[in-house]
Amino acid sequence: MRFDIFTLFPEVFQPYLDASIIKRARQNGLIDINLYNIRDWAKDRHHTTDDTPYGGGGGMVMKPEPVFEAVEAVLGTQRQIPLILMTPQGRPFTQKIAKELSTVQHIGLLCGHYEGIDERIREHLITDEISIGDYVLTGGELPALVIMDAVSRYIPGVLGDPTGAEDDSHASGLLEYPHYTRPPVFRGWPVPDILLSGNHAEIDRWRHEQSMKRTAEKRPDLLDKFQSGQDDE
């Protein structure tokens, strides 16, 4: 899968892309992440990418010309490829959206900055708008990384365990069950006996029960949406 990221600050991405699972996925050719600096398409001597808002008021607005030119140069003018704007006004990002996006071969992510972007970018260039939460960040770079990361986990081969993304918190609509590893007793705190029993049917049952319990305690709002089975009550 290919991600084309349009940003004014490409340097903030590199350390994250060069670590851990995302680094390995890139090396294995499972994901291809390209960073484009919008400033490279600003034509004037100072490479200006922002300007004061018409109508007055504080803050600066991202100019349309360099953004259009960057996107058209990379994605073409007769575009089928989705271009998603990172904005607190977008639809709230969820695990479901991450999974849906992972089925698309190629997406563009546009990182907003300053007070906002010229509305003509939104109207004539953008195909989708996503927010990663009801708070405001200084730019769309962290949201683009969040989306790229959550989507990549669904691409076959990115996680060591092929079913890895299916068990996650939120994947089933519930929070994930608790995990334990060695030692069996740490500072007097034992691992639950059931996990050492070798009885996989019972372990699956216990884990599902723990997921239900956790979700009820920590995120009761999620239980309302969850399609429960016969024994879940």
Chain contacts with ligand ADE (rule: CB under 6 A): 86-88, 112, 131-133, 135-137, 140, 143
Q: Which is nearer to ligand ADE, 137 or 223 (CB)?
A: 137
List active site positions.
88, 115, 153, 168
Burial class (CB within 10 angstroms; exposed 0-12, middle 13-18, buried 19+) of 212: buried
Q: Which is nearer to ligand ADE, 145 or 174 (CB)?
A: 145
Q: Which is nearer to ligand ADE, 58 or 160 (CB)?
A: 58
Query: Can you give the length of the chain in residues?
Result: 233
In the bound complex, what is the minimum distance in angstroms from residue 82's beta carbon to ligand ADE? Answer: 16
Q: Could you tell me whether strands 61-62 and 116-117 are parallel, antiparallel, or unpaired per DSSP bridges? A: parallel
In the bound complex, what is the minimum distance in angstroms from residue 94's beta carbon to ligand ADE? Answer: 13
CB-based contact 68:125 (threshold 8 Å)? yes
In the bound complex, what is the minimum distance in angstroms from residue 119's beta carbon to ligand ADE? Answer: 16
Q: Which is nearer to ligand ADE, 87 or 211 (CB)?
A: 87
Q: How many Cα neighbours within 13 Å face the side chain of 189? A: 5
CB-based contact 112:144 (threshold 8 Å)? no
In the bound complex, what is the minimum distance in angstroms from residue 189's beta carbon to ligand ADE? Answer: 38
Q: What is the edge-to-edge ordering of all strands in the sheet holding 106-111? A: 32-37, 2-7, 106-111, 83-92, 128-131
The DSSP secondary-structure symbol of 113 reads B
CB-based contact 36:74 (threshold 8 Å)? yes
